[in-house]
Amino acid sequence: MELFANPAPILTALAFWVLSGVLVGSALAVVLARAPVHSVLFLILCFFNAAGLFLLLGAEFLAMILVVVYVGAVAVLFLFVVMMLDMELVALREGFLRHLPLGALLALVLLAELILTAIGWHAAQDLRFVSATVATAVPFAEVGAEVSNIKMLGAVLYDDYFLLFQASGLVLLVAMIGAIVLTHRTRPGVRRQEIAEQVLRPAEARIHANNPPIGGGVDWDV
């Protein structure tokens, strides 16, 4: 009974196991689901549970941004596109074995990277977090307790790595312009509303009073 005297660690552990269990399960379902739309929906569930895990780590800002950006915007567009595609389910199944070696290789690389990160993280426990604005130099692992997430991220991004941050913004800008240039084409014959032209037109040009003779009709040249 003593074991249950303090609910907080039990609930945290329970939340961790439920979130990570659903995360792994839905990640598997993304790959295994037959219909592409189901895959995307499972992917969304994945994102959501990952956000939950971030919350457990105390990274509430990252959790919210994950939901806003990935679930709220990226996945919506993804779902949008997948719903519009009229895909042949059988054809989708066929490539499974052919692409298996490449997929397995990618998975192995990712796994190796994760293990390396975990080892590095373990070694970095006693690194000091030093930033220009956040003056307190505390062990990396404890920094979250003293300064709020957002301030920490802000200090790192905008003070310590300002140029790199701007450069990554430029990379995104180039990608965006590239995508627009590649896909944008001017189609002739598309009727478009020119708001400025409409507003600037004088009143006389908009309304034209006529008194047509009976049976004569009007000349329409406006």
Does 12 bind another protein (CB under 8 A)? Our answer is: no
Collapse the DSSP code of 129 into the 3-class scheme (helix H, G, I; strand E, B; otherwise coil) and give the result.
strand
Q: Applying CB under 8 A, which of residues 22, 33, 56, 149 lies at the interface with another protein?
A: 149
Closest Cα to residue 35, out of 103, 92, 98?
A: 92
Q: Applying CB under 8 A, which of residues 91, 97, 195, 196 lies at the interface with another protein?
A: 195
Does 78 bind another protein (CB under 8 A)? Our answer is: no
Q: Which is nearer to another protein, 1 or 207 (CB)?
A: 1
| Two tokens, residue 127 | 């690194």
| Two tokens, residue 154 | 């802000």
Does 64 bind another protein (CB under 8 A)? Our answer is: yes
Does 137 bind another protein (CB under 8 A)? Our answer is: no
Q: Applying CB under 8 A, which of residues 42, 71, 129, 143 lies at the interface with another protein?
A: 71
Q: DSSP per residue over 3-68, as a string?
A: GGS-HHHHHHHHHHHHHHHHHHHHHHHHHH-SSHHHHHHHHHHHHHHHHHHHHHHT-HHHHHHIII
| Minimum CB distance to another protein, residue 80 (Å) | 5
Helix (H) or strand (E) holding 128, with range, is strand 128-129
Q: Which residues bind another protein (CB under 8 A)?
A: 1-2, 4-7, 37, 41, 44, 60-61, 64-65, 67-68, 71-73, 76-77, 79-80, 83-84, 133, 147-151, 193, 195
